[in-house]
Structure 1
Amino acid sequence: MKKFLSGFLVFLISFCFSQKKVVDAKIITQDNDTLNVKIRVTVNMIDPTLIYGSSLNEKISIVDESGNKSKMEASNVKELSFVDFVGKKRYFLNRSENKKTLQERLFNGDTIEWFRDYYASGPGGEGAADFLFNKVAKKGIGVGYFTGLPKKKLIEFFSDEPEMENLIQEAKTSSLRQAENSIDFVMQSLLEKYESLKSRK
C-alpha cells in the first residue's frame, strides 16, 4: 500500500508541474528523409513556454492531422528542429555514443560547438549537462556551472587565445553578469568572442 501511495504521489507531483503541448517540427531521419510533423513536448506547468528537453530524449511523440499519436525512436533521428514558444530555433542532434538519445546544440561556430544533455530530475523536474567541443583541435570538455562559470576549465580550454583568460576572469564582475543575463548568455558571449578572435587569423 505504501508503494502504491508513493507511486501515486510521484505521478501527481509530476502531473502538477508539467503538461503536454504540440509544436511544429522538422525531423531528418538517419536515412536522410525530411519529415515536417507536429510533435508533443512536455512543458513546465508554471512557465508553459519552458520546454523540457528531456521529453525528446529517447522517443519523439508525433501527432498527425487527426490527432493520432505515434512514437519515433530517437535512434532513427539524425536531427530534430523546431521554433519554441518564445520564438527561439532549437536543434537536437543524435550524436550520443549509443545513438539512442538526442542532445541540443546550443552554439555552432566555425571552431566551437556547445551541446546540452537533458535528463529527468525528480518529479516534474529536469537537469542538464553541457559539453564544449573544439572541431579543429578535436577536443572537448564537460561543463557544469551550477555554482558559477568553471573558470579554470574554460581558461585551459581556450588557452590558444590568451585574450580569453581576462574575459573569463572578468565575466563574474563585468556587465555580462548583470542580473538579467543568465549564465547561458554569458557562455554564449564568451564563445562568440572566441570565434571572433579565431576569425582574425
Structure 2
Amino acid sequence: MNKIIILGIFLIFSLKMNSQNSLSSEIILKTQDTLIGEILTAKNPFDKEFIHVTSFNNKLVFHDKLGQKRKIKAQEILELNFTDLKGEKRRFVGIPEMKHYIVEVIYINKIKWYKHYYTNYGTETFTYMIFDQDNNRFNIGLFNSARKKLKEITQQNPDINTFIEENKMNEENILNVIKMYEATL
C-alpha cells in the first residue's frame, strides 16, 4: 500500500515538473521571416511565474496561430520578444559570440549588455556579457566580479571607479556605470 502511495506522489510530482507554460511571442528569424504565436517553456512547480529560460534559449518549440508546431534552433533566431508571466516584456537576440544560444538584452547603446542563461549542476544561472565601444567582451558571473570587470571597462575614469567602489554592483548600479561611461565617449 505504501509503495502505491509513494508511486502516486512521484507520478503527480513528475507530471507537474514536466508541464509547460505557453507564452505569446514574436520571433524574427535570420531569414527576416516574422513568426507570431506561442513558445513553450518549462514550468516551475514551486513558482508559477518563473520561466526556465534554459528550456528555450538553445532550441525552442513554437506554435503558430494555426496550431502548427515547429522546432527552432537558436542559430536561426535574430530576435525573440514576449511578455513573461510577471507581465515584463523580454527581448532575446542571437549574437555572433553565442552561436548556439540566444541571450537576453539588458541594454543596448554604445555599450551592449546581455544576460546568458545556462544550467550549472541542474540549476539555472546566468552570466552577464558586456561589450564595450570597441566590441571587447567582458563576462560578469560566478568567477568574475562585476566590480573588477566594470573597472577594467572604465579604467580611464576615476569618478566612475569611485562610484563602483562605493556602491553595490546590482543591475541598477551596473546600468548607472554603463550610462556614466557612455557619457564620456
* Both proteins in one fold, TM over 0.5: yes
* Aligned CA distance change for structure 1 residues 157 and 193 (closer, same or farther; 3 Å): closer
Q: Is the 8 A contact 2:129 2:138 kept in 1?
A: yes
Query: Normalising by the residue count of structure 2, what TM-score does the alignment of the two structures yield?
Result: 0.79
* Aligned CA distance change for structure 1 residues 64 and 140 (closer, same or farther; 3 Å): closer
The match for 2:152 among 150, 156, 178 is 156
* Aligned CA distance change for structure 1 residues 57 and 12 (closer, same or farther; 3 Å): farther
2:117 corresponds to which letter in structure 1?
A: Y
Whole-Å separation in 1 of the counterparts to 2:35 and 2:54: 21
Q: Is the 8 A contact 2:35 2:64 kept in 1?
A: no
For 2:6, the equivalent position in structure 1 comes to: none
* Correspondences of 1:134-173 after superposition (within 5 Å): 134=132, 136-145=133-142, 149-172=145-168
**Long gaps (5+) in structure 2:** 1-10
Whole-Å separation in 2 of the counterparts to 1:20 and 1:153: 37
Whole-Å separation in 1 of the counterparts to 2:23 and 2:47: 16
* Correspondences of 1:180-191 after superposition (within 5 Å): 186-191=170-175
Q: Is the 8 A contact 2:28 2:77 kept in 1?
A: yes
Q: Is the 8 A contact 1:63 1:70 kept in 2?
A: yes
For 1:80, the equivalent position in structure 2 comes to: 80
Structure scoring higher RCO (CA < 8 A, sep ≥ 6) equals 1
Identity %: 26
Cα deviation digits, residues 89-123 of structure 1 (max 9, x gap): 11111114463221111222x22211122122344
Q: CA RMSD in A?
A: 2.8
**Long gaps (5+) in structure 1:** 1-10, 173-182
1:157 corresponds to which letter in structure 2?
A: I
For 1:132, the equivalent position in structure 2 comes to: 130
Q: How many residues align?
A: 175
For 1:89, the equivalent position in structure 2 comes to: 89
Cα deviation digits, residues 10-64 of structure 1 (max 9, x gap): x998765564101111111111111111111123221121111111122111124
Name the SS for the 1:24 alignment partner.
strand
- 1:158 Cα offset (Å): 1.6
* Aligned CA distance change for structure 1 residues 37 and 166 (closer, same or farther; 3 Å): same
1:161 corresponds to which letter in structure 2?
A: N
* Aligned CA distance change for structure 1 residues 200 and 34 (closer, same or farther; 3 Å): same
The answer to which of 58-67 and 36-45 deviates more is 58-67
For 2:62, the equivalent position in structure 1 comes to: 62
Q: Is the 8 A contact 1:54 1:119 kept in 2?
A: yes
- 1:69 Cα offset (Å): 3.0
Query: Normalising by the residue count of structure 1, what TM-score does the alignment of the two structures yield?
Result: 0.73
* Aligned CA distance change for structure 1 residues 86 and 170 (closer, same or farther; 3 Å): same
Whole-Å separation in 1 of the counterparts to 2:19 and 2:158: 46
Q: Is the 8 A contact 2:154 2:181 kept in 1?
A: no
Whole-Å separation in 1 of the counterparts to 2:113 and 2:12: 35
